[in-house]
Amino acid sequence: MKRQPDAQGLPANILAKPIVVTRDQHPISRKAIPEHALKVLYRLHNAGFEAYLVGGCVRDLLLGLEPKDFDVATNAKPEQVRGLFRNCRLVGRRFRLAHVVFGREIIEVATFRGHHEVETDEQSAKVAKADDEGMLVRDNVYGTIEEDAQRRDFTVNALYYNIADFAIYDFANGVKDLNAGVLRMIGDADQRYREDPVRMLRAIRFATKLSMRMDSSVEAPIRQLAPLLQNIPAARLFEEVLKMFAAGKGVANFEMLSDYHLFQQLFPLLKNYIKEPDEAPYQMIRQTFADTDERIRNDQRITPAYLFAALLWWPLQARMEILMAESGLPPVDAMNLAAADVFGKQVQTVAVPKRFSIPAREIWQLQQRMERARGKRIQSLLTHPRFRAAYDFLLLRAKTATPAEQQHLQQQADFWTQQQAKFPGAVATARNAHSAEDSAAPKKKRGRRGGRRRKPRTDSD
């Protein structure tokens, strides 16, 4: 039986009672759960608290996928969790979380979230706060597991694995939707997107990652509400961009984001370059994601520096042309100024840390140096730490060039291919000097499951 909306506007697709999928009815085994996650679950349980694996990890295990993270939900308050674990730290302002740290591995523990009356002014620490657009900016309201399930974003994320009886508690027909391949929102999608516009990006990412189709109610508001992403902190959107384009589904995410007008919000400088799929800029951007996806499939290194160098190349060229025409600057100076301008504008929407923007600018600069190199400068460039990334970028440019530039760029690419064969020692020197990097980035960390540091988030991944 499904719950009807009540006076408080509770989600209509939440079940009156959860469906309990007993241990003999699902494939999840404790052998698939990392040791440290089990340790957290059992310590909470033995201390008299409820303890569940929740959200994305349960969903992925049911699909036979390897979860990135194992998150825990409990009725213990953050301070009580910290009292059980000396290796625990409390994080987050919007919603307080406990991070239990085991070396490089972090198990995130969240207290059940409760219902709230959203207020636009500060009145009480127990009342959530929203901005003028309806986006929640503070949400430290605790409740029961039933309330927590109602606060989840998608039905397939309202799944809880109970360490007490090893059963899965399904509060929103999530298992049914998972089997049907349908991504359905809990509650009114328009309202949920306004509460947190990043949910629009999550809808796209889950659709591509899980090969699911979005329910019509999930996709209908996205184009209209896409501009709400402008209210999201640029640093948070950088993390979302990495999830979108550095996890093996870059092409699919790019195409869906563009179709729903979300990519244009993340990269406003590219708005005019992705209107014509047959044009060189669009082809270069798409090929960048295709190459990155292939590298991830081959377990090769990728780096955001290379991605941003490729994505912002055409805005860089346009700005360079303006600077050279208006000020008569030589190409080297024009590129340096244009690079500062382009990144200065981009970081207003998606923050790009200097550890990535600086290497991206070096990749750009090397395009000019590679074109001018003669004599001893050739071997010097071959030993440059960013040479391999710059060379791959040159190959990308040649592959997606306009007809007017294609022959010239291909000749350059062939020349540098020959030089690497001619001076293998120089290339090896560069590789050894920069062994921590690769042309397309830091290697995808595989380590132990759940073994990555991350920032707090609002919904289950």
Q: Evaluate whether 335 touches 320 at the Cβ level (below 8 Å).
A: yes
Number of alpha carbons in the 13 Å side-chain half-sphere of residue 9: 10
Q: What integer pLDDT is reported at residue 117 of this predicted model?
A: 54
In angstroms and rounded to an integer, the radius of gyration of the C-alpha atoms of the chain is: 25
Average pLDDT, integer, range 277-286: 96
Closest CA to 48 of 18, 20, 75, 86: 75
Above 80 in pLDDT, residue 456? no
Question: What is the percent of the chain where pLDDT is above 70?
Answer: 84
CA 249 vs CA 120, 215, 233, 257, 425: distances in Å? 38, 20, 24, 12, 36
Above 50 in pLDDT, residue 75? yes
| Separation CA 354–CA 251 (nearest Å) | 25
Number of Cβ atoms within 10 Å of the Cβ of 316: 21
Q: What domains are there in the chain, each with its CATH number? A: 19-186 (3.30.460.10), 188-266 (1.10.110.30), 267-433 (1.10.3090.10)
Q: What integer pLDDT is reported at residue 455 of this predicted model?
A: 46
Question: Would residue 153 show up in a list of annotated catalytic residues for this protein?
Answer: yes
Q: What integer pLDDT is reported at residue 441 of this predicted model?
A: 45
Over residues 391-407, the pLDDT tens digits come to 999 999 999 999 999 99
For the chain, the first-to-last Cα distance in angstroms comes to 27
Which range (73-77, 127-131, 145-149) has the least confidence? 127-131
At 429, the pLDDT band (50, 70, 90 cuts) reads low
Above 80 in pLDDT, residue 457? no
Question: SS3 of 15, please?
Answer: strand
Average pLDDT, integer, range 83-111: 93
| Separation CA 166–CA 26 (nearest Å) | 10
Among residues 153, 177, 291, 293, the one annotated as catalytic is 153
Q: What integer pLDDT is reported at residue 48 of this predicted model?
A: 98
Q: What integer pLDDT is reported at residue 447 of this predicted model?
A: 41
At 440, the pLDDT band (50, 70, 90 cuts) reads very low
Average pLDDT, integer, range 101-105: 94
Over residues 340-383, the pLDDT tens digits come to 999 999 999 999 999 999 999 999 999 999 999 998 899 999 99
Above 70 in pLDDT, residue 196? yes
Question: Would residue 69 show up in a list of annotated catalytic residues for this protein?
Answer: yes
Whole-number average pLDDT of the chain: 88
376 vs 169 pLDDT, higher one: 169
Looking at residue 204, its amino acid is I
Q: What integer pLDDT is reported at residue 192 of this predicted model?
A: 94
| Separation CA 28–CA 44 (nearest Å) | 20
Which range (20-24, 384-388, 447-451) has the least confidence? 447-451
Above 60 in pLDDT, residue 87? yes
Average pLDDT, integer, range 230-238: 96
Average pLDDT, integer, range 197-205: 97
Place of tokens 């049907």: 180
| Separation CA 324–CA 170 (nearest Å) | 62
Closest CA to 197 of 214, 234, 222: 222
- Contacts of residue 209, defined as CB under 8 A and 6 or more positions apart, other chains included, come to 247, 249
Q: What integer pLDDT is reported at residue 115 of this predicted model?
A: 72
Q: What integer pLDDT is reported at residue 191 of this predicted model?
A: 94
Average pLDDT, integer, range 450-457: 46
Over residues 312-327, the pLDDT tens digits come to 999 999 999 999 999 9
Among residues 60, 71, 139, 170, the one annotated as catalytic is 71
CA 264 vs CA 10, 116, 227, 229: distances in Å? 33, 33, 9, 10
Q: What integer pLDDT is reported at residue 195 of this predicted model?
A: 92
Above 80 in pLDDT, residue 178? yes
Show the tokens assigned to 180: 């049907």
Q: In the 3-class helix/strand/coil scheme, how is 384-450 assigned residue by residue?
A: CCCHHHHHHHHHHHHHCCCHHHHHHHHHHHHHHHHHHHHCHHHHHHHHHHCCCCCCCCCCCCCCCCC
Above 80 in pLDDT, residue 167? yes
Which range (49-63, 83-97, 200-214) has the least confidence? 83-97
Kindly tell me the sign of the dihedral angle through the C-alpha atoms of 132, 136, 140, 141: positive
Distance of CA 84 to the CA centre of its chain: 31
Q: What integer pLDDT is reported at residue 304 of this predicted model?
A: 96
Show the tokens assigned to 332: 């080297």
Average pLDDT, integer, range 169-185: 96
Q: Tell me the pTM.
A: 0.84
List beta partners, residue 72.
53, 109
At 449, the pLDDT band (50, 70, 90 cuts) reads very low
| Separation CA 141–CA 118 (nearest Å) | 11
Q: What integer pLDDT is reported at residue 26 of this predicted model?
A: 97
Residue 376, phi then psi, degrees to nearest 5? -65, -20
Q: What integer pLDDT is reported at residue 93 of this predicted model?
A: 74
Residue 452 region by backbone torsions, left for phi larger than 0, else alpha for psi between -120 and 50, else beta: beta
Question: Would residue 177 show up in a list of annotated catalytic residues for this protein?
Answer: no
List beta partners, residue 100.
88, 107
Which range (45-54, 111-120, 137-146, 221-230) has the least confidence? 111-120
**Alpha helices for 27-151 (secondary structure H):** 35-46, 56-63, 78-84, 145-151
Q: What integer pLDDT is reported at residue 92 of this predicted model?
A: 85
Among residues 60, 69, 177, 196, the one annotated as catalytic is 69
Residue 349, phi then psi, degrees to nearest 5? -110, -50
Above 60 in pLDDT, residue 436? no
Q: What integer pLDDT is reported at residue 133 of this predicted model?
A: 54
